[in-house]
Structure 1
């Protein structure tokens, strides 16, 4: 019989991902729990299945069984293990994962994400529940959601993207590559109304940051990456903020939480002045990013992605 701690942690993992979906950056649908303690499908224009097990009172063999179950599922994008923190559990987990490094399943270890919960956690204590939930929420958002759903997007990526001195251009290029496909400098520069030199410089910047991908290090045919899609989605929600259409009272707590982890404090920028950046704000990635969004919106150069809404639970 599962313990109260086991049940609380398993349900918390699903609640965290379901609430994060209210950001509009992806949708959430709870999955089958036949093999797992919790499972869900996070959707955009792709589907990412996240499944997990919760370790609370298992013995040594239980850890082995959990990890084997998580790693053998082929369609899982992220395998989550929420575990009671103890020296014995950490040592056993290291032994089990180490045993897979020389097997055909070694590549699947990269999708395993372990979140440790204090050994003295008591699900009957309200303060302990709140603390465990908040800690798990922060860790899952930083590691799981950022890496799996947002393509590994980092604050450094956002800062480098915003640093372009040509407001709106990077967003216009990403949108064009996503919707029209990039074939050549000449065709793309004509379509966007940019000089070939400027386009070449901005594409190189987006390629170095990782928002554009190519099969060749020299470029050629480019495509938008997962992180490029993520920044386009985030900027689309920031555009909603500028139009005071982000949600009730123009607020979205889940989006704010994700953005702040990326170094974006958009609520500190009044929507009516976001299109101008003062000398003091030139060092602020948030202000620069908001200027990109405002200019691209003014130019009408971006096909803005619509919010992804939560799907009904199965």
Structure 2
């Protein structure tokens, strides 16, 4: 059966969006064998996530077959379904997913992400293609990257971490990096490493935990470990700091697109602007949030010795067990 231009555009664009975002170096991307699916790829953070996807545009009666193929025949960690947004399609989508929820395969729906595309999309229109590509970019970054690959990192949590300025600003990032790259550590190690009081260390770790960058588990030692959201945050910090310390003319970091989705508008910061740019942060604009973020990444290196060339993160066995329970089938 010949695929419509819309069908082809949506399947190709889905992979293109994921490939474009991978230029940030926050995760790896490679296309996989499609098998019986319209598109497939592997996304790698510290784990490899296989993604299988189907696209439906013209034939509503294919929804049942598409979903059952995805939910029953795919062993992928993420299942993507892109389809035309009509009432008939929504009705059939609801019927099939309800049928799965009532059976013993309801857990398979946890892997499914649905992307609804306006019914009047015309692939022959350049404006339509641009609009739908941007829509897919936003939805994919939110539903797949931020909520799965990056461990539910969010602009609200990052804003919480960035808005407070005071003594030892940047220490929280240095502590996060130290924990992420050290196999065994104690609170005393952190206090001595950064020459601060134990209560100061505890305060920074509390803030990191609230921001979702540190996880806690009483089962094991040390009790805190860096989450996938924390590793993403550190990779973003390294990207920004590299531009500042790289010895070349300052540029917008390659992760600027993802930073913008986290509420930060990247701009070129040079020399003393790293501190001058912090003035007037009270307005909490995206530009101000980026200045606060960049300042912390730079200060973590200048004052606390964080090595942004060292991103060899140690994965905690407790996180590995959680990932295995959630995704291995």
Query: TM-score, normalised to structure 1's length?
Result: 0.87
Change (3 A) 1:195 1:81: same
Conserved in 1, the CA contact under 8 Å of 2:250 and 2:270? no
Shift of 1:287: 2.2
Change (3 A) 1:4 1:188: same
Shift of 1:70: 2.2
Change (3 A) 1:103 1:170: farther
Look up the match of 1:16: 17
CA distance in 1, matches of 2:311, 2:301: 16
Shift of 1:159: 0.8
Q: Which secondary structure state, in structure 2, belongs to the residue aligned with residue 39 of structure 1? A: strand
Q: Which secondary structure state, in structure 1, belongs to the residue aligned with residue 114 of structure 2? A: strand
Change (3 A) 1:278 1:238: closer
Q: Which secondary structure state, in structure 1, belongs to the residue aligned with residue 78 of structure 2? A: strand
Q: Once structures 1 and 2 are overlaid, which stretch shifts more, 165-174 or 196-205?
A: 165-174
Look up the match of 1:312: none
Conserved in 2, the CA contact under 8 Å of 1:237 and 1:307? no
CA distance in 1, matches of 2:215, 2:308: 20
CA distance in 1, matches of 2:10, 2:311: 29
Gaps of 5+ in 2: 313-329
CA distance in 2, matches of 1:10, 1:152: 25
Look up the match of 2:41: 40
Shift of 1:138: 2.1
**1:114 maps to 2:109:** no
CA distance in 2, matches of 1:25, 1:245: 22
Change (3 A) 1:307 1:89: farther
Look up the match of 2:144: 144
Conserved in 2, the CA contact under 8 Å of 1:26 and 1:307? no
Look up the match of 2:318: none
CA distance in 2, matches of 1:13, 1:204: 38
Shift of 1:264: 1.2
Conserved in 2, the CA contact under 8 Å of 1:189 and 1:199? yes
Q: Which secondary structure state, in structure 1, belongs to the residue aligned with residue 138 of structure 2? A: helix
CA distance in 2, matches of 1:238, 1:299: 17
CA distance in 2, matches of 1:281, 1:270: 18
Q: Which secondary structure state, in structure 2, belongs to the residue aligned with residue 76 of structure 1? A: coil
Conserved in 1, the CA contact under 8 Å of 2:251 and 2:268? no
Look up the match of 2:163: 163
Change (3 A) 1:238 1:44: same
Corresponding residue pairs, total: 304
- Higher relative contact order, chain-length normalized (CA < 8 Å, sep 6+): 1
